[in-house]
Structure 1
Amino acid sequence: MTRPNLQTESGRIVGDNQNSITAGKRGPTLLQDVYLIEKLAHFNRERTPERVVHAKGSGAFGELTVTADITRYTKAKIFSEIGKKTPMFARFSTVGGERGSADTVRDPRGFALKFYTEEGNWDLVGNNTPVFFIRDAIKFPDFIHTQKRNPQTNLKDPKMVWDFFSQSPESLHQVLILFSDRGIPLSHRFMHGFSSHTYSMINAAGDIHYVKWHFLSQQGIKNLKAEEAEKLAGSNPDHYQEDLFSSIEKGDFPKWKVAIQIMTPEQARNQRLNPFDVTKVWYHKEFPLMEVGFFELNKNPENYFQDVEQAAFSPANTIPGLYFSPDKMLQGRLFAYADTQRYRLGINATQIPVNRPRCSVHGYYRDGTMRVDGNGGDAVNYEPNSDPSSPFENASYKEPPIAIDGEGGHYDRYEDSGNDNYEQPGKLYRLMKEDEKARLVSNLVASLGAPSVPNAIKEKQIELFRRCDADLGKRLADSLL
C-alpha cells in the first residue's frame, strides 16, 4: 500500500519532515523554512486556554544575587557587580500533563526563570535535565503529540511514545535520565535546573562566548521511587504545589546556586561533538562549572491565576550581553514560545503584572485586545518620524555578527558525526550504581513492556539501548523478549 504524501496546509508536498532548513549542517535555522513556521504556528494553537506544554505548574517570586565577576564574558548589567540583586519570578512545571494532572508523574520538569532587569526582562526557559529528546524544532509537535493523549481513546498511549523514541535515537540520552531515579523529583525544591540549550554571552569589547546555565539546588537532590510517586499521585496530586508554597510561607526559602560553562567560538569549531546539539552535554572536565551567584525564592504569589497561570516566558526575551546560538531547537523556540503566549494570553500579554518589565518601555506597538496602558496616547505610531521626543534606534546596542557557514538546505540530522546519539547515554548508564541501574531497567520495563507496545517496537528500542551499552540492552531483552 502506497502511503499518501505529507502536505502543507495549502497542499504543497513536504520534501523533508525530519530536518529544518539551516545554514550549513550546524548553522541556525532559516526563516524561509515556511513549513517549519507553519508547523510550529499550527501546533501553538491546538489547545486553549491552557498551555500546550507545561500546563501544570507552581511559581514564586525571589531575588538573584551575584557573587562572582563574569564581566569579562558579558556586558549585561544584571552581572555588572558583585553583590548586585535583581528581582525575579520562577515557575516549575510538568511537561506533558494537563492542569489537573498529578505532580508526581514521570516527566521532565520545566524550570523557567524571569529576571526583571533595568535593561528589560531576561527569560531563561529550561528543564530539570541538561539535555532534551530531540535536536530540531521541526520534530517538536510530533514529539509532544506522543506525550499527550491518543486521539481515539483519549488515553496516554505507551505505543505512541515508544514508536517515536524507537525511531529517534537522539532521544536516548534524555530517555535514560527520565527513567532513572531523577525522573521523579521529591519536589520542585529538590531538583537542579538547566538552560539545556547553548546560549551566548557578549562582553563590552564585542567578544562572543558560548554558555550553558546550571542552577544547582542547595536543598540537595532527592527523588521519589516509582511506587512512592504513584501513591502520592492518588493521595496528594498537588504535592509539589503544596510543598513549594508551604516552605516559602513558613520562611524556609529554597535556594539554587547559579553556575555556567563557557566555551569560546574556536573551541566550538574544534569540538568533536556538536556543542549546539541540545541532546548533548558539555563534559565538565573540559568545561568546568564557574560560579555566578545564587537565587532565592522568598515570596508566594498573591493570586495563582494572576501570577502563575498568566506568567509568560520566552527564550527570545534577552538583554544586551546575553544572546542566542545556532542551536536548532533554541532557534525554533525563539519563535514558538513568544507566539504561543500571544495566542494564549493575547498580543498585550506583557502588560500583565507578572510579565511587565520593571524598566520603562518605549515603542510603536498599538491596539490589540486588552490594551490597558493608554495605547500610546496621542504620540506618533510610526518610525522614522520628526518628533524629537519619540523613541529611536540605538546602533550601539546592535549585537555583533555570528559566523554562518554553509548553504541553506535540509541537512540530515544523522549525517553529522558530532551528533552521535550513543556515546553520552552509554557513559551515563555506566556512571550509575548497580541499584540505580536496576531501578532504571525496572522503570523502562514497566513502560516499554505495556501490552499496547508491539514486539517490533520493543526490539527496535532495545537495539538502540544496546548500542549505548551492551549490558543495558541485554537486561531489557531478557525482561521484555
Structure 2
Amino acid sequence: MTKNGKPAPMDPMKLATTSPQQRFEGAQTGLAGRDARQETAKTQDLIRDSRDPAPGMTNNQGLGISDDQNSLRAGVRGPTLLEDFQYREKMTHFDHERITERVVHARGFAAHGVFESAGDHSDLTMANLFSEKGKQTPVFVRFSTVMGSRGSADTPRDVRGFSVKFYTDHGVWDLVGNNMPVFFIHDAIKFPDLVHAVKPEQNNEIPQAQSAHDTFWDFASLTPEISHMLMWTMSDRAFPRSFSTMEGFGVHTFRMVDAAGASRFVKFHFKPEKGVHSLVWEEAQKMMGKDPDYNRRDLFEAIERGDFPKWTMGVQVIEEKDEFSFGFDILDPTKLIPEELVPITPLGTLTLNRNVDNYFAETEQVAFCLSHIVPGIDFTNDPLLQGRLFSYLDTQLRRVGPNFAELPINRPLNPVSNNQREGFGRITIDRGKASYFPNNLPGPDGARGLPMQQPDSPAAYRTVFERVDGHKIRARSSSFDDHFTQATMFWNSMAGWEKDHIVAAFSFELNQCETPEIRIAALGGLIAKIDPDLAARVAEKLGIDLPAAIEAAPPPAFVAFAKPDTMPSGKRSTAASPALSMDKPADSILGRKVAILIDAGVDGTKVKALKAALNAEGAVVHLIAAHGGMVKAADGTMLPVDKPAPNASSVFYDGVVVAGGVDPAKMATMGLVKAFLAEAFKFGKAIAAFQEASPVIQAANLPDVGKNGAPKLGVFIGDDVTAAFIAAMKTPRFRNRNVDAVAA
C-alpha cells in the first residue's frame, strides 16, 4: 500500500508472470477499505486483463493447439475420427452460440410438396423413393439466406439454403443443400471461423444482413481455398429472382448403393422448371427497402394461385473406377464436376404444392440433419461432410431439443421403435418395463425382447463395406491443393455482362473495407491468382497498383498437406463450362410478373386481350394505376387496379406494358411512371407500349429509343405488341442498353 492508503500499482512484469488467481487475490487484499463500486470496477479490470488472449492458440482447457485447420482423420483422404476432441469442442461451442434462432440460415421460408420418381432407378440405388415410375414421396423444402438474422431481408448478396426433407417409406432423408454447388472451405473445423468472419463484426454488430467487410476479406485473403466460392457469391447467383428460379445442389459428393451393395459416387442437382433467373445488385438493394419479404411472398403467392414451383432432381454419377479421373479430388467441396464431363441423370420431379399452416410449428421447428439417411444413400470421406454430420445433429439438440424428431414436421411416416427415453419435450408415452437392448421382458402386447434389430430387412440401413486404413493425422490431402483452377473456369464461363457484374461486386465489397491492407491482400493474394484481367479491372476500381498488391500479398494461413496414396490423374483445365453461365433464354415466361400501366379512358378491350394472352403463357399480370380501386375504360367498363403506383415498384416485375389512357400526355408527366420505366430499362427488362401511349415512352427519355421503339433493345411500340413482348420476356435481361445514361 502507499502512504495514503491507496493500493500500489502492480509491476507490469510481475503482473505478466502471476496467475489470474494470484492477481485476483492481490486485488481483493489491496482494495480493502475502498468504495464498493471502485472495488468492483478495479477487480473486473484485473480479471479482464488476466483473460487477454495469449499469442499461442489453445483450447478451452489451455491445451496448446498445433493445427486448427485440419480435422483428425484416418489417412489424408480417410474419414474424420470421433476421437478429435479439438474439433468437437470447437464445433460444439459454435453450434451453441445462439439461443433459439439458428446460428446460420435463420431467415427461412418453406413449403410442402411431393417428389415423383421418373422411373425405376434400382440400378443406381436401393433407396425406395426412386424404385418405380410415378412413386410419390412427401417432401418439405426450406429456403433460406445464410448470414442474416430472422428479421433481415430476402435479397442480400448471400448463399441460399435449399434443404429437402424426404418422408420416405424407410424413414426421413434430409438433403441439406444450397443454391451454389461448391463451398467456402474444405474442412468443417474451419466453419466456425468462416461464420465468425462473415457475420457482423463483434465490436459493433455491423453490418447486418450482408457479409462483413474487414473481417470476412481478412479471412478470405488468408484462405485461398475460398476462391471458387467467391466467384459464385460475387456473381448474380447471389441474388435469385425467386426461389423457383434458382438451382439447388447437394454440394457434397455422396454415394448411392444398390441392393447388391455396389456403390457409386453422386452429386445431387435440382434444375428449376422456370429456368435460372437472378436479380442484379442495384435492383436487389431497392427491393430490400421496398419489400424485404419479396422472395417468400413470391413463393407463398405462387402456391396459393396454383402456380406450383417445380424442379427436376438429378444426379451426376461417377463410378468408383473413375474416382481419380478428373484432375481434382471429387471429395473436395470447393470443386464441382462440370456437366459437360458428367451429364446429369434425371431421377424425378420435385413439386411444391402446399403452404405451411403455421410458420413456427413447421418452418421454424423443422430440423434438418445430414445424418438423417435412408438405405441406398451413403456418405463419403469429404472432410466438410464428415464434420457437418456431427454439427447438424448437435445444433438441433441445442436448438429444438433431444426429442425434436417427435415434432409433427420432423416425424417420419413409418413407425418409430427404439429404447431412447425421456428428455425435455418428450411427446411419446412409452409403455412397458424395458428401455434397453438386449432384453427378455414382455412388452405391453406380451411379446418379449422388443424392439429387435433387423439385420436382414431391406428397410435397415447398412453402411457401405469399405476398407479404411491410415495413420491418425492432422493434414489435408494434396489432391485438395489446387485452389484457383475452377475459379478461373467460372470466370471463363461468364458472358461479358456477367463478368462486369463480378468486377463491380468485388470492387464494391473491397471498397467497403476500412483497412487498406485487407484490400491489398485480397487483390494480390486471391483475385490476381484467378485471372489477370479480373484483377486488373478490380485494381483500377480500388485505385491500387496491381504489381505492388501481388508483391505485398501475405502468405495463406498454415495448412499441412500430405501426399495421398493416389493422386487424381486427369488433366487440369481452365476451359469454360457453359452450364455455369446464366446468359440463356428461358423456355417460357411461366411465373414471370408483368405490370400494365393504365389510366382512365384506356382501351379496355386491348388491355383484357393482352392480359389474357400473358396469363395463357403462365405470366402473372398486375394492372397498375395512379390510385387503387377501379379505372374506367373507354368503353365504360371498370378495370380493377391490382396495385396503386406508389406500392408497385418496377423491381417487382419482369416486364412492363404502357397501355395509357384518355390523356397519355398527362401520364407522361407522372414522376412515378417515368421512374418505373427508367428502372425497368436500366435493369434490362422488356418494355412495350400501345401506339396511343407512345408519348409516355418518349417522355421517359430512354436512351436510343425512338418513336417506333427499339426492338433490338427490347422496347416495342405498336397496335399489337403482344407476340413481340412475350418473346422478349423469355430473355431475362437486355444487356445491350446504354444504362449509364439512365438516372435511376
TM-score range, shorter chain: over 0.9
In the alignment, which of 336, 347, 350 is matched to residue 281 of structure 1?
336
Partner of 2:323, secondary structure, is: helix
User: How many angstroms apart in 2 are the aligned matches of 1:292 and 1:4?
Assistant: 53
1:455 aligns with 2:517: yes
Partner of 1:367: 422
Matched, 1:127 2:187: no
Q: Distance in 2 between matches of 1:122 and 1:289?
A: 21
SS of 1:334's partner is: helix
Q: Which residue number in structure 2 is paired with residue 209 of structure 1?
A: 264
State yes or no: 1:62 paired with 2:113: yes
Deviation at 1:108, TM superposition (A): 0.2
Divergent runs of 4+, >4 A: none
Please name the residue that 2:450 is paired with. Answer: 390
1:328 to 383, 387, 397: 383
In the aligned structure 1, how far is the partner of 2:340 from the partner of 2:515? 40
The aligned residue for residue 409 of structure 1 is 473
- Counterpart of 2:76 (choices 7, 21, 25) is 25
Equivalent-residue separation in structure 2 for 1:14 and 1:180 (angstroms): 37
Give the counterpart of 1:136 among 174, 187, 207.
187
- 1:168 partnered with 2:223: yes
186-195 or 67-76, larger mean C-alpha shift:
67-76
Query: How much does 1:468 deviate?
Result: 1.5
| Cα contact 2:378–2:464 (8 A) shared by 1 | no
Please state how far the C-alpha of 1:225 moved relative to its aligned partner: 0.8
1:158–1:453 Cα contact (<8 Å) kept: no
Task: Provide, for residues 322-371 of structure 1, a one-character-per-residue CA deviation record: whole Å limited to 9, x for no partner.
Answer: 11110111111101001101100110001111000111010000000011
1:477 aligns with 2:539: yes
- Residue 290 of structure 1 is matched in structure 2 by 345
**Mapping of 1:194-273 within 5 angstroms?**
194-273=249-328
Letter in 1 for 2:432: D
Q: Which residue number corresponds to residue 428 of structure 1?
A: 490
Amino acid at match of 1:431: S
Q: Are 1:14 and 2:69 counterparts? A: no
CA contact (8 A) 1:277 1:419 kept: no
Task: Give me the whole-angstrom Cα distance separating, in 2, the residues matched to 1:297 and 1:461.
Answer: 42
Deviations 1:196-234 (A, max 9, x none): 001111111100111110001111111111111111111
Which is worse superposed, 443-452 or 322-331? 443-452
CA gap of 1:43–1:28, structure 2 versus 1, over 3 A, is same
Q: Tell me if the contact between 2:438 and 2:449 (Cα under 8 Å) persists in the aligned partners.
A: no
- Equivalence map 1:80-159=2 (5 Å): 80-156=131-207, 157-159=212-214
Instruction: Determine helix, strand or coil for the equivalent of 1:247.
Output: helix
Q: Distance in 1 between matches of 2:303 and 2:384?
A: 34
Corresponding position: 1:341 with 2:341:
no
Q: 1:274-314, CA deviations, whole angstroms, 9 ceiling, x for partnerless residues?
A: 11010000122332110100110000000101110111001
User: Which is higher, the Rg of structure 1 or of structure 2?
Assistant: 2
Superposed CA offset, 1:217-276 (max 9, x none):
111111111111111111111111111111101111000000101112221144421110
In the alignment, the residues of structure 1 paired with residue 513 and residue 345 of structure 2 have an alpha-carbon distance, to the nearest angstrom, of 47
Partner amino acid, structure 2, of 1:146: A
Task: State the distance in 1 between where 2:176 and 2:164 align.
Answer: 6
Distance 1:457 1:239 in 2: 33
On the 8 A contact 2:143/2:160 being kept in 1, the answer is: yes
Aligned to 1:181: 236
What is aligned with 2:39? none
Alpha-carbon distance between aligned partners in 2 of 1:451 and 1:282, rounded to the nearest angstrom: 33
Classify 1:168/1:302 alpha carbon distance in 2 versus 1 (closer, same or farther; 3 Å): same
Change (3 A) 1:380 1:435: same
Q: Structure 2: which 5+ residue stretches go unaligned?
A: 1-52, 442-447, 545-744
User: Amino acid of the residue matched to residue 74 of structure 2?
Assistant: A
Q: Is the contact made by 2:156 and 2:239 (CA closer than 8 Å) also made in structure 1?
A: yes
Q: CA deviation at 1:45?
A: 0.4
Root mean square deviation of aligned Cα? 1.4
Letter in 2 for 1:390: L
Q: CA deviation at 1:457?
A: 4.1
Aligned equivalents of 1:456, 1:3: Cα separation in 2: 24
1:162–1:461: 8 Å Cα contact kept in structure 2? no
What code does the residue aligned with 2:450 have?
S
CA separation of 1:313 and 1:451: change in aligned 2, threshold 3 A:
closer
Output the CA distance in 1 between the equivalents of 2:390 and 2:516.
Answer: 37
Q: Which amino acid aligns with 1:410?
A: R
Moved more, 335-344 or 415-424: 415-424
Q: What is the alpha-carbon distance in structure 2 between the residues aligned to residue 389 and residue 410 of structure 1?
A: 43
Contact 1:63–1:85 (CA under 8 A) maintained in structure 2: yes
> Is the contact between residue 114 and residue 124 of structure 1 (CA under 8 Å) also seen in structure 2?
yes
CA distance in 2, matches of 1:284, 1:3: 48
Structure 1 pair 342/456, CA: closer, same or farther in 2 (3 Å)? closer
Q: Is the 8 A contact 1:448 1:458 kept in 2?
A: no
Distance 1:472 1:382 in 2: 62
Letter matched to residue 465 of structure 2: P
Determine which of 345, 354, 372 is the counterpart of 1:299.
Answer: 354
The residue identity in structure 2 corresponding to 1:80 is S
C-alpha change, 1:143 and 1:347, in structure 2 (3 Å) is same
Contact 1:104-1:184 within 8 A present in 2 as well? yes
Gaps in structure 1 of 5+ consecutive residues: none
Asked if the contact 1:55–1:95 (Cα under 8 Å) also holds between the matched residues in 2, the reply is: yes
Tell me how far 1:65 sits from its aligned partner: 0.3
List per-residue Cα deviations over 1:8-48 (Å, max 9, x = no partner).
11221111011111122221111111100111111000001
